[in-house]
Structure 1
Amino acid sequence: MDENKFAALLGHAALKVWPELSRDAQEMLFAAAVDDGVIANTLATYLHDHHPRTAHPPKPTALV
Structure 2
Amino acid sequence: MDDNRFAELLGNAAIGVWGDMPRDIQEALFETAMRGHDDLRHELAKLLHDRHPRTQHPPHPA
Q: TM-score, normalised by structure 1?
A: 0.83
Aligned pairs, how many? 61
RMSD: 1.4
Q: Which residue matches 1:13?
A: 13
After TM superposition, what 4+ stretches of structure 1 lie above 2 angstroms from structure 2?
A: 58-61
Residues 2-61 of structure 1 show CA distances to partners (whole Å, capped at 9, x for unaligned) of 001100010011011100000000000100111232211110111111111210223456
> Relative contact order: is structure 1 or structure 2 higher (C-alpha 8 Å, sep ≥ 6)?
2
**Structure 1 unaligned blocks of 5 or more:** none
Instruction: Give 1:32-51 correspondences, 5 Å limit.
Output: 32-34=32-34, 35-51=36-52
Rounded Cα–Cα distance in structure 1 between residues aligned with 2:37 and 2:5: 23
Q: TM-score, normalised by structure 2?
A: 0.85
- Over the matched positions of the two proteins, sequence identity in percent amounts to 52
**AA partner of residue 55 (structure 2):** T
